[in-house]
Structure 1
Amino acid sequence: MKYYEDVVPGTVTHSPRSYKVTREEVIEFASKYDPQPFHLDDEAAKNTFFGRLSASGWHTAAMTMRLMVETMQHGEPQAGLGSPGIDELKWIKPVYPGDEIRIEMEMLSKRRMKSRPDMGLTRSQNRVYNQDDELVMTFIGNGLIRVKNPDAPIED
Protein backbone atom coordinates (compact mmCIF):
# COMPACT_ATOMS: atom_id res chain seq x y z
CA MET A 1 0.00 0.00 0.00
CA LYS A 2 1.30 3.47 -0.91
CA TYR A 3 0.92 6.00 1.93
CA TYR A 4 1.55 9.71 2.37
CA GLU A 5 5.17 9.03 3.29
CA ASP A 6 5.69 7.27 -0.06
CA VAL A 7 4.44 10.20 -2.18
CA VAL A 8 7.27 12.10 -3.92
CA PRO A 9 6.59 15.57 -5.38
CA GLY A 10 7.82 15.80 -8.97
CA THR A 11 6.83 12.22 -9.79
CA VAL A 12 4.95 11.84 -13.08
CA THR A 13 2.58 8.89 -13.51
CA HIS A 14 0.89 7.82 -16.76
CA SER A 15 -2.32 5.83 -17.04
CA PRO A 16 -1.51 2.22 -17.94
CA ARG A 17 -4.17 2.28 -20.66
CA SER A 18 -6.27 4.68 -22.68
CA TYR A 19 -10.05 4.98 -22.64
CA LYS A 20 -11.93 4.69 -25.95
CA VAL A 21 -14.84 7.12 -26.25
CA THR A 22 -17.91 5.65 -27.95
CA ARG A 23 -20.75 7.45 -29.70
CA GLU A 24 -23.32 5.53 -27.64
CA GLU A 25 -21.68 6.54 -24.38
CA VAL A 26 -21.46 10.22 -25.45
CA ILE A 27 -25.18 10.31 -26.23
CA GLU A 28 -26.16 8.32 -23.12
CA PHE A 29 -24.16 10.59 -20.78
CA ALA A 30 -25.44 13.76 -22.45
CA SER A 31 -29.03 12.52 -22.36
CA LYS A 32 -28.80 12.11 -18.59
CA TYR A 33 -26.50 14.94 -17.51
CA ASP A 34 -25.75 17.52 -20.24
CA PRO A 35 -28.56 17.44 -22.82
CA GLN A 36 -27.22 20.11 -25.16
CA PRO A 37 -27.86 19.47 -28.87
CA PHE A 38 -24.17 19.25 -29.85
CA HIS A 39 -23.77 16.32 -27.44
CA LEU A 40 -26.90 14.55 -28.71
CA ASP A 41 -27.38 15.12 -32.43
CA ASP A 42 -25.00 15.06 -35.40
CA GLU A 43 -26.94 17.63 -37.41
CA ALA A 44 -27.24 20.07 -34.53
CA ALA A 45 -23.53 19.70 -33.77
CA LYS A 46 -22.44 20.52 -37.34
CA ASN A 47 -23.18 24.23 -36.97
CA THR A 48 -21.42 24.71 -33.63
CA PHE A 49 -17.90 25.36 -32.40
CA PHE A 50 -17.45 21.57 -32.17
CA GLY A 51 -18.35 20.84 -35.82
CA ARG A 52 -19.61 17.37 -34.95
CA LEU A 53 -20.98 15.34 -32.07
CA SER A 54 -18.71 15.80 -29.05
CA ALA A 55 -18.49 14.49 -25.51
CA SER A 56 -19.63 16.76 -22.71
CA GLY A 57 -16.72 18.24 -20.78
CA TRP A 58 -18.27 16.67 -17.70
CA HIS A 59 -18.25 13.31 -19.47
CA THR A 60 -14.57 13.83 -20.27
CA ALA A 61 -13.99 14.55 -16.57
CA ALA A 62 -15.88 11.37 -15.59
CA MET A 63 -13.90 9.21 -18.03
CA THR A 64 -10.71 10.80 -16.70
CA MET A 65 -11.75 9.94 -13.15
CA ARG A 66 -12.00 6.31 -14.23
CA LEU A 67 -8.47 6.46 -15.62
CA MET A 68 -7.19 8.16 -12.45
CA VAL A 69 -8.64 5.48 -10.18
CA GLU A 70 -7.26 2.69 -12.37
CA THR A 71 -3.85 4.38 -12.39
CA MET A 72 -3.81 4.80 -8.61
CA GLN A 73 -4.78 1.14 -8.16
CA HIS A 74 -2.26 -0.12 -10.72
CA GLY A 75 0.84 -1.71 -9.22
CA GLU A 76 0.92 -0.61 -5.60
CA PRO A 77 -2.53 0.73 -4.61
CA GLN A 78 -2.71 4.04 -2.78
CA ALA A 79 -4.18 4.53 0.68
CA GLY A 80 -6.48 7.18 -0.80
CA LEU A 81 -9.19 8.76 1.31
CA GLY A 82 -11.08 10.79 -1.30
CA SER A 83 -10.73 14.36 -2.48
CA PRO A 84 -11.78 17.79 -1.25
CA GLY A 85 -12.05 18.95 -4.88
CA ILE A 86 -10.22 20.14 -7.96
CA ASP A 87 -8.88 23.51 -9.07
CA GLU A 88 -8.39 25.15 -12.45
CA LEU A 89 -10.38 22.72 -14.62
CA LYS A 90 -9.90 23.63 -18.29
CA TRP A 91 -11.38 21.98 -21.36
CA ILE A 92 -8.76 22.68 -24.01
CA LYS A 93 -10.00 20.69 -27.01
CA PRO A 94 -13.21 18.77 -27.71
CA VAL A 95 -13.30 15.01 -27.23
CA TYR A 96 -15.14 13.14 -29.98
CA PRO A 97 -16.52 9.62 -30.37
CA GLY A 98 -13.65 7.41 -31.49
CA ASP A 99 -11.04 9.36 -29.52
CA GLU A 100 -8.90 7.56 -26.97
CA ILE A 101 -7.92 9.56 -23.92
CA ARG A 102 -5.17 8.99 -21.37
CA ILE A 103 -3.96 10.87 -18.30
CA GLU A 104 -0.63 12.09 -17.04
CA MET A 105 -0.47 13.04 -13.35
CA GLU A 106 2.40 15.10 -11.93
CA MET A 107 2.64 15.29 -8.15
CA LEU A 108 3.12 18.96 -7.24
CA SER A 109 3.14 18.93 -3.45
CA LYS A 110 2.08 17.22 -0.27
CA ARG A 111 1.48 18.31 3.30
CA ARG A 112 0.26 16.75 6.51
CA MET A 113 -3.02 18.04 7.88
CA LYS A 114 -2.64 19.58 11.34
CA SER A 115 -6.32 19.03 12.13
CA ARG A 116 -6.12 15.36 11.05
CA PRO A 117 -2.59 13.99 11.61
CA ASP A 118 -3.71 10.66 10.14
CA MET A 119 -4.16 12.32 6.71
CA GLY A 120 -2.08 14.12 4.16
CA LEU A 121 -3.18 16.43 1.35
CA THR A 122 -1.62 16.10 -2.09
CA ARG A 123 -1.85 18.38 -5.13
CA SER A 124 -1.25 17.09 -8.63
CA GLN A 125 -1.27 18.66 -12.08
CA ASN A 126 -3.35 16.43 -14.33
CA ARG A 127 -3.15 16.50 -18.11
CA VAL A 128 -5.49 14.55 -20.38
CA TYR A 129 -4.42 13.76 -23.95
CA ASN A 130 -6.13 12.19 -26.94
CA GLN A 131 -4.70 9.53 -29.26
CA ASP A 132 -2.80 12.21 -31.21
CA ASP A 133 -1.09 13.44 -28.02
CA GLU A 134 -3.17 16.62 -28.15
CA LEU A 135 -3.97 18.15 -24.77
CA VAL A 136 -7.75 18.04 -24.23
CA MET A 137 -8.21 18.85 -20.52
CA THR A 138 -6.18 19.98 -17.50
CA PHE A 139 -6.89 20.39 -13.80
CA ILE A 140 -5.21 20.40 -10.42
CA GLY A 141 -6.37 17.54 -8.24
CA ASN A 142 -6.41 17.69 -4.46
CA GLY A 143 -6.27 14.30 -2.80
CA LEU A 144 -6.44 12.95 0.72
CA ILE A 145 -4.18 10.05 1.61
CA ARG A 146 -3.66 8.02 4.76
CA VAL A 147 -0.51 8.62 6.80
CA LYS A 148 1.37 5.45 7.70
CA ASN A 149 2.57 6.83 11.02
CA PRO A 150 0.10 9.43 12.38
CA ASP A 151 2.16 9.81 15.58
CA ALA A 152 5.18 11.15 13.66
CA PRO A 153 5.78 14.89 14.09
CA ILE A 154 4.17 17.16 11.52
CA GLU A 155 6.82 19.18 9.70
CA ASP A 156 6.03 22.73 8.59
Structure 2
Amino acid sequence: MKFAEFHPGQQISAGPYEVTEAEVLQFARAYDPQWFHTDPAAAAQGRFGGLIASGWHTCAMAMRLAVDAALHDSESFASPGVANIRWPRPVRPGDRLSLRATVIEVRRSSQKPTLGILRWRWQLFTAEGQEALDLEATSLFKLAAD
Protein backbone atom coordinates (compact mmCIF):
# COMPACT_ATOMS: atom_id res chain seq x y z
CA MET A 1 0.00 0.00 0.00
CA LYS A 2 1.11 3.53 -0.62
CA PHE A 3 1.16 6.08 2.20
CA ALA A 4 -1.75 7.98 0.63
CA GLU A 5 -3.95 4.86 0.95
CA PHE A 6 -3.82 4.80 4.77
CA HIS A 7 -6.44 6.65 6.83
CA PRO A 8 -7.33 6.77 10.55
CA GLY A 9 -9.69 4.00 11.63
CA GLN A 10 -8.79 1.79 8.68
CA GLN A 11 -8.43 -1.91 9.46
CA ILE A 12 -6.09 -4.15 7.51
CA SER A 13 -6.22 -7.92 7.87
CA ALA A 14 -3.68 -10.58 6.97
CA GLY A 15 -3.18 -14.26 7.52
CA PRO A 16 -3.59 -16.89 8.55
CA TYR A 17 -0.02 -17.78 9.41
CA GLU A 18 0.51 -21.33 10.70
CA VAL A 19 3.11 -21.66 13.43
CA THR A 20 5.24 -24.81 13.27
CA GLU A 21 7.21 -26.45 16.05
CA ALA A 22 10.33 -26.43 13.87
CA GLU A 23 10.05 -22.67 13.42
CA VAL A 24 9.50 -22.06 17.16
CA LEU A 25 12.55 -24.17 18.00
CA GLN A 26 14.75 -22.62 15.30
CA PHE A 27 13.95 -19.03 16.31
CA ALA A 28 14.33 -19.74 20.02
CA ARG A 29 17.62 -21.59 19.67
CA ALA A 30 19.03 -18.67 17.67
CA TYR A 31 17.59 -15.71 19.60
CA ASP A 32 15.76 -16.61 22.84
CA PRO A 33 17.16 -19.93 24.10
CA GLN A 34 15.05 -20.29 27.21
CA TRP A 35 13.93 -23.84 28.05
CA PHE A 36 10.21 -23.20 27.57
CA HIS A 37 10.98 -22.17 23.96
CA THR A 38 13.62 -24.81 23.16
CA ASP A 39 12.88 -28.00 25.12
CA PRO A 40 9.48 -29.59 24.37
CA ALA A 41 9.80 -32.19 27.14
CA ALA A 42 10.70 -29.68 29.84
CA ALA A 43 8.11 -27.20 28.52
CA ALA A 44 5.40 -29.87 28.84
CA GLN A 45 6.10 -29.92 32.58
CA GLY A 46 6.25 -26.13 32.88
CA ARG A 47 3.77 -23.40 33.64
CA PHE A 48 2.37 -23.26 30.09
CA GLY A 49 1.98 -27.03 29.67
CA GLY A 50 3.93 -27.11 26.43
CA LEU A 51 6.28 -25.37 24.08
CA ILE A 52 5.58 -21.68 23.43
CA ALA A 53 7.03 -19.24 20.92
CA SER A 54 9.23 -16.40 22.07
CA GLY A 55 7.39 -13.10 22.30
CA TRP A 56 10.02 -11.67 19.96
CA HIS A 57 9.22 -14.42 17.47
CA THR A 58 5.56 -13.50 17.79
CA CYS A 59 6.46 -9.90 16.90
CA ALA A 60 8.44 -11.15 13.90
CA MET A 61 5.43 -13.15 12.68
CA ALA A 62 3.28 -10.00 12.96
CA MET A 63 5.91 -8.08 11.01
CA ARG A 64 5.77 -10.65 8.24
CA LEU A 65 2.00 -10.35 8.01
CA ALA A 66 2.15 -6.52 8.06
CA VAL A 67 4.65 -6.54 5.20
CA ASP A 68 2.56 -9.00 3.20
CA ALA A 69 -0.64 -6.99 3.75
CA ALA A 70 0.51 -3.39 3.59
CA LEU A 71 4.21 -2.55 3.52
CA HIS A 72 5.42 -4.53 0.51
CA ASP A 73 6.00 -2.13 -2.40
CA SER A 74 5.21 0.90 -0.22
CA GLU A 75 7.40 3.91 0.47
CA SER A 76 8.08 2.56 3.99
CA PHE A 77 11.77 2.63 4.87
CA ALA A 78 12.12 2.41 8.66
CA SER A 79 10.49 2.47 12.05
CA PRO A 80 11.58 4.50 15.06
CA GLY A 81 10.07 1.86 17.33
CA VAL A 82 7.06 0.21 18.87
CA ALA A 83 5.16 0.94 22.07
CA ASN A 84 3.10 -0.98 24.57
CA ILE A 85 4.01 -4.50 23.50
CA ARG A 86 1.82 -7.08 25.23
CA TRP A 87 1.59 -10.83 24.83
CA PRO A 88 -1.77 -11.69 26.45
CA ARG A 89 -1.62 -15.34 25.37
CA PRO A 90 1.37 -17.47 24.41
CA VAL A 91 1.70 -18.63 20.82
CA ARG A 92 2.07 -22.38 20.37
CA PRO A 93 3.03 -24.68 17.53
CA GLY A 94 -0.09 -25.38 15.48
CA ASP A 95 -1.64 -21.96 16.08
CA ARG A 96 -3.01 -20.19 13.03
CA LEU A 97 -2.49 -16.47 13.53
CA SER A 98 -4.18 -13.56 11.81
CA LEU A 99 -3.19 -9.90 11.96
CA ARG A 100 -5.59 -7.03 12.45
CA ALA A 101 -3.84 -3.70 11.99
CA THR A 102 -5.80 -0.56 12.86
CA VAL A 103 -4.53 2.80 11.64
CA ILE A 104 -4.35 5.34 14.47
CA GLU A 105 -2.69 8.33 12.80
CA VAL A 106 -1.41 9.30 9.35
CA ARG A 107 0.50 12.56 8.94
CA ARG A 108 3.36 14.31 7.24
CA SER A 109 6.19 15.50 9.43
CA SER A 110 5.94 19.22 10.10
CA GLN A 111 9.74 19.59 9.90
CA LYS A 112 10.37 17.19 7.03
CA PRO A 113 7.49 17.32 4.54
CA THR A 114 8.91 14.37 2.58
CA LEU A 115 8.50 12.16 5.67
CA GLY A 116 5.21 10.36 6.24
CA ILE A 117 4.41 8.99 9.69
CA LEU A 118 1.97 6.14 10.25
CA ARG A 119 0.98 5.00 13.74
CA TRP A 120 -0.97 1.77 13.84
CA ARG A 121 -2.02 -0.92 16.28
CA TRP A 122 -1.14 -4.50 15.45
CA GLN A 123 -3.06 -7.36 17.03
CA LEU A 124 -2.49 -11.05 16.38
CA PHE A 125 -5.34 -13.44 17.01
CA THR A 126 -5.53 -17.22 17.02
CA ALA A 127 -8.11 -19.01 14.87
CA GLU A 128 -10.22 -19.25 18.05
CA GLY A 129 -10.17 -15.44 18.42
CA GLN A 130 -7.74 -15.28 21.33
CA GLU A 131 -5.44 -12.27 21.27
CA ALA A 132 -1.76 -13.24 21.27
CA LEU A 133 -0.08 -9.88 20.56
CA ASP A 134 -0.99 -6.22 20.93
CA LEU A 135 1.42 -3.41 20.08
CA GLU A 136 1.55 0.05 18.60
CA ALA A 137 3.98 0.48 15.72
CA THR A 138 5.23 3.59 13.96
CA SER A 139 6.27 3.33 10.32
CA LEU A 140 8.12 5.99 8.36
CA PHE A 141 7.56 6.62 4.65
CA LYS A 142 9.69 8.54 2.16
CA LEU A 143 7.36 10.82 0.21
CA ALA A 144 7.80 12.99 -2.82
CA ALA A 145 7.96 16.72 -2.24
CA ASP A 146 4.74 18.55 -3.16
User: Which TM-score bucket, shorter chain as reference?
Assistant: over 0.9
Name the structure 2 match of 1:20.
18
Distance 2:142 2:100 in 1: 22
Larger Rg: 1
Q: TM-score, normalised by structure 1?
A: 0.87
What does the per-residue CA deviation read over 1:40-77, in whole Å, with 9 as the maximum and x for residues that have no partner? Answer: 11221123221101111111111111111001157xx4
Distance 1:104 1:42 in 2: 30
| Runs ≥4 residues deviating over 2 A | 46-49
| Structure 1 residue matching 2:79: 3-state secondary structure | coil
What does the per-residue CA deviation read over 1:49-107, in whole Å, with 9 as the maximum and x for residues that have no partner? Answer: 21101111111111111111001157xx4221221110000011010001111100000
Stretches of structure 2 that go unaligned for 5 or more consecutive residues are none
Query: What RMSD in Å do the two structures reach over aligned CA positions?
Result: 1.6
The structure whose residues are more often strand, as a share, is 2
Distance 1:2 1:66 in 2: 17
Please give the residue correspondences for 1:1-156 in structure 2 after superposition, counting only pairs within 5 Å. 2-3=2-3, 5-15=4-14, 17-73=15-71, 77-148=73-144, 150-151=145-146
Q: TM-score, normalised by structure 2?
A: 0.92
Amino acid at match of 1:56: S
Amino acid at match of 1:9: P
Name the structure 2 match of 1:154.
none
